[in-house]
Amino acid sequence: MLCKCWTCPDCAPGQKARLKALARRGHPTTFITLTASPAAGETPPEAAQTLVKAWRRIRRELVEKKGMKNPPFIAVFEKTKKGRPHLHILARVAFVSQKWLSNRMRHLARSPIVDIRRVHNARQAASYVSKYLAKDPIRFTGCKRYWRSMDWDLNIVLTDEPPFERAFGWHHDPRSVTELCDNLSFMGYVTNIEGNTLAFC
């Protein structure tokens, strides 16, 4: 039985593959990197927590001050060679000014260095995912290794159908076993994969 631990040499490749699949299923339009500045004087875990709070505030301001829809996203931490946190974010969002984002990060985290790029097609999205999001995600103390908004995964269909009927109604599903496992885990099921067999309860 797999432990599903990111530090386990047997489980880490599968965890990275599931993260890649999840990131691609969100059909992102924008790639954002927030960088914690050493000048802020925080330890790496403190800096990571500051980035989390800053991104949460930025999302709220996009709605309240910019009149935009709250952007669906997936965010993943990466550690630099010096041990500092980068927060890589894929989002479905309309245009966001780099100048505005840099000013907000200067105010919220004393870290004005940001990178924001448009994602023009699925190939480019896959490139960002492979290069940044699933390369070596790091868990800083007090933060998740990665997280996403509830509406990120476009393969999940929200329904009022009772969970028992949704789980045991027979139908053909074209998704892979790992994709199904990820979706079932998202809905609250305990899952286990052995070979090509998926068990859940």
Which has the higher per-residue pLDDT, 116 or 194? 116
**Residues 186 and 87 reside in one and the same domain:** no
Of the spans 3-7, 19-23, 64-68, 103-107, which averages the highest pLDDT? 103-107
**Residues 184 and 121 reside in one and the same domain:** no
CATH code, domain with 105: 3.30.70.1910
pLDDT digits (tens, 9 = 90+) for 148-194: 998 898 875 444 444 434 333 444 556 666 666 665 554 445 566 66
**Residues 30 and 62 reside in one and the same domain:** yes
| Residue 186, pLDDT score | 47
Distance CA 67, CA 147 (A): 24
Distance CA 79, CA 73 (A): 20
Of 101, 137, 108, 115, nearest in space to 42 by CA:
108
| Residue 168, pLDDT score | 39
**Residues 131 and 184 reside in one and the same domain:** no
**Residues 109 and 192 reside in one and the same domain:** no
- 5 pLDDT above the threshold of 70: yes
The count of C-alpha atoms lying within 13 angstroms of the C-alpha of 99, restricted to the half-sphere facing its C-beta, is 0
Q: Kindly state the average pLDDT of the residues 131-135.
A: 73
| Residue 170, pLDDT score | 44
| Residue 1, pLDDT score | 63
| Residue 4, pLDDT score | 75
- 114 pLDDT above the threshold of 80: yes
| Residue 173, pLDDT score | 56
**Residues 74 and 114 reside in one and the same domain:** yes
Residue 69: band (very low, low, confident or very high) from pLDDT cuts 50, 70, 90: confident
The domain tally of the chain equals 2
Q: Kindly state the average pLDDT of the residues 11-24.
A: 84
**Residues 33 and 117 reside in one and the same domain:** yes
Which has the higher per-residue pLDDT, 77 or 123? 77
Cα–Cα distances (Å) from 189 to 105, 166, 185, 186, in that order, read 37, 12, 5, 7
Residue 98: CB atoms within 10 A of its CB come to 12
**Residues 16 and 115 reside in one and the same domain:** yes
Cα dihedral 112, 107, 70, 161 sign: positive
Residue 196: band (very low, low, confident or very high) from pLDDT cuts 50, 70, 90: low
Q: What range does the domain containing 18 cover? A: 12-148
Distance CA 138, CA 5 (A): 12
Contact (CB, 8 A) for 36 and 94: no
Q: Kindly state the average pLDDT of the residues 80-106.
A: 92
115 inside domain: yes
Which has the higher per-residue pLDDT, 66 or 161? 66
Say if residue 149 is exposed, middle or buried (CB neighbours under 10 Å; 0-12, 13-18, 19+): middle
| Residue 160, pLDDT score | 43
33 inside domain: yes
